[in-house]
Structure 1
Amino acid sequence: MPSNAKLHAYLHGQIQPLESAFLHVRDLSIQRGYGIFDYFKVQQGQPVFLADYLQRFYESARLMELAVPLATDALKDVIQQLIQVNHLPHSGIKMILTGGYSANGYDPGEPNLIILQQPLTLPTPEMIAQGIKIITYEYVREIPKAKTINYSTGIRLIKQIKEAGASDVLYQKNGVVTEFPRCNFFIVTQDDVVVTPDADVLLGVTRKNVLKAASQKYKIEERAVTLQDIAQAKEAFLTSTTKRILPVVQVDEIVVGNGKPGAVTLELLDDLVALEGRQ
């Protein structure tokens, strides 16, 4: 696997060695944490669900009043060039759009577009077989429909998550759950309805594809999900680009279902992997 020293990135309008790709300290992403990003997988040298990720990237930019310096086709060309240069057939690509170099440390400048490619790590078979424990925290992310670079709350809670022997944190407000810092959340009811929160969440691409796959076999619902719903659920799982589908077997002190990954969750994981393979 190539080392970081051999990888390349896109910045300032060109592909260059990763080790020499730097932003100036005047960039608003450094000064104020202002910017957006998106992330997608590359399998066998081909981006997976790229159109969906690009659509969300441009929408996040619009919501944050940032102009993407490349049109869609030009951005696709740069992505393909980077894939060819880096020779990472199985990887992840992150596109970051910053607030640009600010003259006064507050007003946006011309956005800087950064594209990085790194090796990808997926959940181990053991994690899938055992499921994970999560904790909850009272918080609703600002501008949920935008995938911003502000992960301050999630990062600040890493120590608390580890101390609880958990793997992640699920945001909730007044008992209504929304999302993880980097994932969407689902439950499966006792009568096999697949449910995911519909408000104050980022509309994940994996979330979209899981709903599509689930609708072929089960009833699906996008609605409010409460902590009480979790306590009564048969299964729970999270979804994301890097985790695909990962079973959740405990939420705080609530054991979900029988405390083991459920049949519906594992079936949907198989369906998602098959869907990715058809891209």
Structure 2
Amino acid sequence: MTRIIYLNGQYIPETEGKVSVFDRGFLFSDSVYEVVSVLDRKLVDFEGHVQRLARSLSEIGIEGAPDAHAWLGICRELVSRNAFEEGMIYWQVTRGTPDDRDFVFPPTDMPPTVLAFTQSRTLVNNPVAERGLSVVTVPDLRWGRADIKTTQLLYASLMKNAAIGQGADDAWMERDGWITEGSAQNAHIINRDGVLITHPLNREILHGITRAAVLPLVVQRIEERPFSVSEAEQAAEAFVSSASGFVMPVVRINGYAIGDGKPGSATVQLRNAYIEWARRTAK
């Protein structure tokens, strides 16, 4: 079955999707994106994701994108046309297509390029959740606005591939010895006193929608503060949160086993609680 995508107001086969070579998303990564999970053909935490998209668009001054009601219709239509059961829907909005390449922004009335597409993925019965992730820490050399969900993902991609080259699954980024976040996930630890520690919301990390939904489900005491690489290596449990992975246990950091080297009980309980919440609230 050929996947149907949404591009600039039309639902078309993915093989027919075309964007100009002068599109600013292609030339400058002048674009933002979002990803919403789909479970049982329903959208998980739609409001959180559409609000974050609106914030990202506002932060870099892109106008003319679909509103929340339109995005809901686009997502539901893609689910229907693709008979889509489980996975993600990606939304991407660029500043549009001027006549030529120029660092200066085009006029604000230029229509943006708007793309949405489905991507099948096993979310609930993901075998990685059974074994847990191995991560290594790398320097966080991204630009200073990690809180805006732009398509400037080259460094995160480089670091993830570097981690795989070292035999790990993914990378956690650090600045001056303090963990910021994963390549595409928020990072969390539970220390040996049973306290869940997570980086505070600021410009150094993406304000995770899954993170925001997960924290109210936590039964442990929570501290929103930076934690060090050595603190992470000595944690009792560790996990990441994201729309594409939900709550995913981390069992090894820089070669150090976390706990007994298996997914921790608190993390497993939190993953189950989140999945139950997601199914109950999806629309």
Please indicate, yes or no, whether the TM-score normalized by the shorter chain is above 0.5.
yes
Which of the numbers 20, 25, 28 marks the counterpart of 1:24?
A: 20
Q: Given the superposition, is the C-alpha separation of residues 125 and 54 from structure 1 closer, same or farther in structure 2, using an over 3 Å criterion?
A: closer
2:135 aligns with 134
Q: Given the superposition, is the C-alpha separation of residues 93 and 226 from structure 1 closer, same or farther in structure 2, using an over 3 Å criterion?
A: same
1:107 aligns with 104
Q: Distance in 1 between matches of 2:248 and 2:71?
A: 31
1:205 aligns with 209
Asked if 2 retains the 8 angstrom alpha-carbon contact of 1:101 and 1:108, the reply is: no
Q: Deviations over 1:133-175 (max 9, x none)?
A: 1111111532111111011112223442222110001110110
Q: Distance in 1 between matches of 2:126 and 2:88?
A: 20
Q: Given the superposition, is the C-alpha separation of residues 193 and 119 from structure 1 closer, same or farther in structure 2, using an over 3 Å criterion?
A: same
Asked if 2 retains the 8 angstrom alpha-carbon contact of 1:189 and 1:233, the reply is: yes
Displacement of 1:108: 3.5
User: After the TM superposition, which residues 96-245 of structure 1 pair with which residues of structure 2 at under 5 Å, given as runs?
Assistant: 96-105=92-101, 106-109=103-106, 110=110, 111-122=112-123, 126-142=127-143, 143-198=145-200, 199=202, 200-214=204-218, 217-245=219-247
Which of the numbers 74, 77, 95 marks the counterpart of 2:73?
A: 77
Give the gaps of 5 or more residues in structure 1.
none
**Identity among equivalent pairs (%):** 24
Q: Distance in 2 between matches of 1:126 and 1:45?
A: 21
Asked if 2 retains the 8 angstrom alpha-carbon contact of 1:97 and 1:112, the reply is: yes
Asked if 2 retains the 8 angstrom alpha-carbon contact of 1:183 and 1:239, the reply is: yes
Q: Deviations over 1:106-137 (max 9, x none)?
A: 33443211111121233755422322211111
Q: Distance in 2 between matches of 1:68 and 1:53?
A: 18
Displacement of 1:88: 0.8
Displacement of 1:270: 0.9
Displacement of 1:68: 4.1
Displacement of 1:228: 2.2
Q: Distance in 2 between matches of 1:209 and 1:121?
A: 20
Displacement of 1:225: 1.2
Query: Given residue 73 of structure 2, which amino acid in structure 1 is its aligned partner?
Result: D
Moved more, 255-264 or 130-139: 255-264
1:43 aligns with 39
TM-score normalised by structure 2 residue count = 0.91
Displacement of 1:182: 0.8
Q: Deviations over 1:39-71 (max 9, x none)?
A: 011122211110000001111111121114222
Q: Distance in 2 between matches of 1:204 and 1:159?
A: 22
Q: Distance in 2 between matches of 1:82 and 1:49?
A: 17
TM-score normalised by structure 1 residue count = 0.92
SS of alignment partner, residue 181 of structure 2? coil
Asked if 1 retains the 8 angstrom alpha-carbon contact of 2:87 and 2:244, the reply is: no
Q: Deviations over 1:218-256 (max 9, x none)?
A: 211211111122133111111111111111111113322
Q: Distance in 1 between matches of 2:83 and 2:257?
A: 43
Asked if 1 retains the 8 angstrom alpha-carbon contact of 2:39 and 2:85, the reply is: yes
Number of matched pairs: 273
Moved more, 12-21 or 74-83: 74-83
Asked if 2 retains the 8 angstrom alpha-carbon contact of 1:244 and 1:272, the reply is: yes
Give the gaps of 5 or more residues in structure 2.
none
Moved more, 164-173 or 191-200: 191-200
Q: Distance in 2 between matches of 1:82 and 1:132?
A: 31
